[in-house]
Structures are given as structure tokens and as C-alpha cells.
């Protein structure tokens, strides 16, 4: 099964994608993960990506797509893959379709995890990180022990104004992918992500018919 998970930053794609990948026994392909793996392994594409990253520039689509192609061609992806937050744009979606066609495969379904913007802002702006241990807490949902509160920090990405900017970018560039896939006749499943992880996962499994 080849499945795309869409949803705004903080909607829970990473968590749900990992659980679903385990359930379906297929890899989860997230561009951030495959970028880090390629850089760590020193592959040709990884070295190319590192040059852009070291310069503080965005990694071009051609490098990202090369990494996605390699991930799909790996034995682990012989029975499918879950795309977590990829594609992000219409050009990436068109390129992914070409890659899958080259490999003789098709997309099966697009799942959209829907969460209201205010809920996402609450989720992300409440996160705090312990710089000594790397552990992440949430002021409301996973409060830190009193002993570490004073040393916790808030990542710039988790500040409310940054989160709202990221949501605006998502609405502008990624949300139109739903219409893109509807026009191509691909099944679109919407799942509410503002519920406990187990409930969302159970509905995801039920919706994809496995």
C-alpha cells in the first residue's frame, strides 16, 4: 500500500505515520528522516544535501526526489510506503507520480489529519525542551517535574507567531494537494486528529480497510 499522510504541522502525522507503518509493515518516508539518514551515511545525494544545509539553504526538489526514489526502490519498500508530510507542493506531487509510474506502482489513498489551527497552536506553543536530556514536555498535556522547570527552553519553531506562520504556509502550499488528488480520482479520507492517539490510529486503520 502506498499512502500519503497530509496535515498541518503539529497535526500528528509523525506519530500516526509511525504507528501505521508498523501496522502495515511498510516504511514511513519523511523527507527530514531520509535527509538526515543520507547525510549521516555520506551517500552522494546526502553529500549534495549537506552542502545546501550547511549553507543554510533549502535542499532543492531534485535532491529530495532523488532520496525519495532511492527509498522507494529499497527492498523494505517492496510492499509499499507511507509518505509523511510529502509531497508538500503540487510540483512534488507530480514528480512523485512519475517516480511511482517508473516503478510500476500507484498511490492507494490520501489521508488528511484534520486539526483546528487553535488546537495546533496550543499543542506546539506549550512544548518545552530540557537542554540537558533532550526530553520534550508539554505544559498542559505532559507537565515537567518541578526539578527541571527552570532549565526548560522553548524552541523558536514552537513560538505562537512562528506556528501561525507555518500554518499559513501549509494552507497556501500543501492544502491544495487535496484538490490535486481529488481531480485524479484518488480516495481521500479525512480523520479528526484532535483526539487521543489510540482513537485516531484505530480510525485510520479502519478507514484504509486493513
3-state secondary structure of 171: helix
Q: Is 192 a catalytic residue?
A: no
pLDDT value for 210: 52
Catalytic residue, from 51, 135, 151, 155: name it.
155
Residues 61-103: tens digit of each pLDDT: 999 999 999 999 999 999 999 999 899 899 999 999 999 999 9
Asked about 166 being catalytic, the answer comes back as yes
Does this model's pTM top 0.95? no
Q: Which of 88, 105, 164, 195 is labelled catalytic?
A: 88
Integer Rg of the chain from CA:
18
| 145 pLDDT more than 90 | yes
Kind of pairing, strands 2-6 and 188-192?
A: unpaired
Task: State the pLDDT confidence band at 3, using cuts at 50, 70 and 90.
Answer: very high
Is the pLDDT at 22 greater than 80? The verdict is yes
User: What SS3 string covers 7-71?
Assistant: CCCCCCHHHHHHHHHHHHCCCEECHHHHHHHHHHHCCHHHHHHHHHHHCCCCCCHHHHHHHHHHH
The answer, yes or no, to whether residue 13 has pLDDT greater than 60, is: yes
Q: Which domains does the chain have, with CATH numbers?
A: 2-27+74-115+174-207 (3.40.50.300)
Angle at 2 between CA 61 and CA 58, to 5 degrees: 15
Amino acid at each position: 500500500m502506498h499512502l500519503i499522510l497530509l496535515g498541518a504541522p503539529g497535526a500528528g502525522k509523525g506519530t500516526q505515520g509511525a504507528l501505521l507503518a508498523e501496522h502495515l509493515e511498510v516504511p514511513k518516508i519523511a523527507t527530514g528522516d531520509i535527509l538526515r539518514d543520507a547525510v549521516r551515511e555520506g551517500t552522494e545525494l546526502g553529500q549534495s544535501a549537506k552542502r545546501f544545509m550547511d549553507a543554510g539553504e533549502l535542499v532543492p526538489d531534485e535532491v529530495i526526489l532523488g532520496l525519495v526514489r532511492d527509498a522507494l526502490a529499497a527492498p523494505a519498500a517492496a510492499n509499499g510506503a507511507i509518505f509523511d508530510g510529502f509531497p508538500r507542493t503540487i510540483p512534488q506531487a507530480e514528480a512523485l507520480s512519475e517516480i511511482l509510474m517508473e516503478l510500476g506502482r500507484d498511490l492507494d489513498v490520501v489521508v488528511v489529519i484534520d486539526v483546528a489551527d487553535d488546537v495546533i497552536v496550543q499543542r506546539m506553543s506549550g512544548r518545552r525542551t530540557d537542554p540537558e536530556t533532550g526530553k520534550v514536555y508539554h505544559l498542559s498535556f505532559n507537565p515537567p517535574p518541578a526539578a527541571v522547570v527552570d532549565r526548560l527552553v522553548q524552541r523558536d519553531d514552537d513560538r505562537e507567531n512562528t506556528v501561525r506562520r507555518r500554518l499559513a504556509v501549509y494552507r497556501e502550499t500543501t492544502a491544495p494537494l487535496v484538490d490535486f488528488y481529488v481531480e485524479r480520482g484518488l480516495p481521500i479520507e479525512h480523520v479528526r486528529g484532535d483526539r487521543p492517539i489510540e482513537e485516531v490510529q484505530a480510525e485510520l486503520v479502519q478507514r484504509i480497510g486493513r
